[in-house]
Amino acid sequence: MKRSIFSGALALSVMLLAAGCSSNSSPSNSTNSSFKGTAMTGAGATFPAPVYTQWFKSFLSVESGAKINYQAIGSGGGIQQFTSKTVDFGASDAPLKDAEAASLSRPAFMFPTVLGGDVVAYNLPGVTAHLKLDGPTVANIFLGKITKWNDPAITSQNPGVSLPATAIQVVHRADESGTTFVFTSWLSQESSDWMSKVGAGKGVQWPVGTGGNGNSGVAAGIKQTQGAVGYVEYQYAVSSGLGFADIKGKSSSDYVSPSVDSISKAAGSLQLPITSSTNILDSTAAGAYPIASTTYLLIYKDLTPLGKDKAQTIYDFVYWALTKGQQEVSGLNYAPLPSTVAQQDLQQLTQLTYNGQGIQPSPSVK
């Protein structure tokens, strides 16, 4: 029986006094140089939470009233709250399914914001080298078919590395998660056995292992358990001091280590608009990390129901995040969007409306 023993869903909020009041007039535009922003709420993915935390803090120096309370509860929870309109924006690493998009009360856009990677992280004291693993081997570990770290399927890919006979302890997400969607989508591409027995989704029936909430919960579970293995966003493995594997995907003859550079190389073919099948897994680009992903902000096209100040603040924040904000992500072990993708994003942003009119960025964000 699987147990959920690690909790780690982040509750992120940056607090300042809210400014402005709403009315039925058009939102602030380039003629209003004194716009200070107003409070907003959002919820969703833990995958980009370190970047979003930094962005929300930095954006306060741009619009001092833009208090953004973001609850990092997982992509599934973010989509649910966005759909029920209990938050002003959602966040997900998984694109909306067609049925999820159809259930929204009005059309919405998905904005890629930053690039990251799922890594296979582990806790093996005494093993200092990055292990090398291919897709079928990773699938068999998470299927429970490979149960010891010195299994021939692992040792054959790691000549010269002394691997113990320690039992493998799988740690996975317990909550609905875009990180899980990315990881299980990749496993489904790599292993027909995985595809037929488990498949891809934000939440799946795990054959083995214990569950943790959020990327931080899985990282904590791995760190606390000798012999553990799990999947987390790259930054969480780095900040937790975990070992992580170099990965060989279907389209590569080499094992690729996750890094800002290798994650960035996977996104060259990304095109908007985002659809339910969009992904950058197993990129054919040289040196691309196989389990790379972007993550999305979910924003309604018509922002009128939010009021003029929230409409302007959301627009300004996304504009800033896609331009100046991209300069902050590499230091957090994420990759900025390729310029071609950022430009597509900005073009999509011009389609947001308030009272039937387009919105212009405030001078402070340019």
Domain at 232, CATH number: 3.40.190.10
Residue 14 is assigned to a structural domain of this protein: yes
86 plus 138 within the same structural domain: no
281 plus 176 within the same structural domain: yes
- Based on the structure, what is the number of domains in the chain? 2
| Distance from C-alpha of 330 to C-alpha of 311, rounded to nearest angstrom | 29
pLDDT of residue 269: 85
140 plus 260 within the same structural domain: yes
Closest CA to 221 of 2, 8, 1: 8
54 plus 104 within the same structural domain: yes
pLDDT of residue 16: 31
283 plus 137 within the same structural domain: yes
300 plus 259 within the same structural domain: no
**Domain encompassing residue 141:** 118-268+275-292
Between CA 264 and CA 262, with CA 289 as vertex, the angle to 5 degrees is: 40
Domain closes at, from 233, 260, 292: 292
153 plus 169 within the same structural domain: yes
pLDDT of residue 14: 35
Residue 1 is assigned to a structural domain of this protein: no
218 plus 193 within the same structural domain: yes
* Token pair for 151: 């299994």
Residue 50 is assigned to a structural domain of this protein: yes
The 10s digit of each residue's pLDDT in 149-199 is: 999 999 999 999 999 999 999 999 999 999 999 999 999 999 999 999 999
| Distance from C-alpha of 335 to C-alpha of 267, rounded to nearest angstrom | 10
* Token pair for 111: 């904005």
> pLDDT below 50 — which residues of the chain?
1-25, 30-31
pLDDT of residue 268: 86
23 plus 130 within the same structural domain: no
| Distance from C-alpha of 216 to C-alpha of 211, rounded to nearest angstrom | 12
Residue 248 is assigned to a structural domain of this protein: yes
> Exposed, middle or buried: residue 232 (CB in 10 Å: 0-12, 13-18, 19+)?
buried
User: In sequence order, what are the residues at sequence separation of 6 or more whose Cβ sits closer than 8 angstroms to the Cβ of residue 185?
Assistant: 200, 279, 281
Residue 131 is assigned to a structural domain of this protein: yes
Residue 205 is assigned to a structural domain of this protein: yes
DSSP 3-state percent helix, strand, coil across the chain (nearest 5): 35, 20, 45
Domain closes at, from 258, 292, 326: 292
| Distance from C-alpha of 359 to C-alpha of 348, rounded to nearest angstrom | 12
Total length of the chain: 366
146 plus 263 within the same structural domain: yes
Residue 2 is assigned to a structural domain of this protein: no
The 10s digit of each residue's pLDDT in 120-136 is: 999 999 998 899 999 99
132 plus 280 within the same structural domain: yes
261 plus 192 within the same structural domain: yes
Torsion of CA 18, 16, 93, 343, to 10 degrees: 70
pLDDT of residue 10: 39
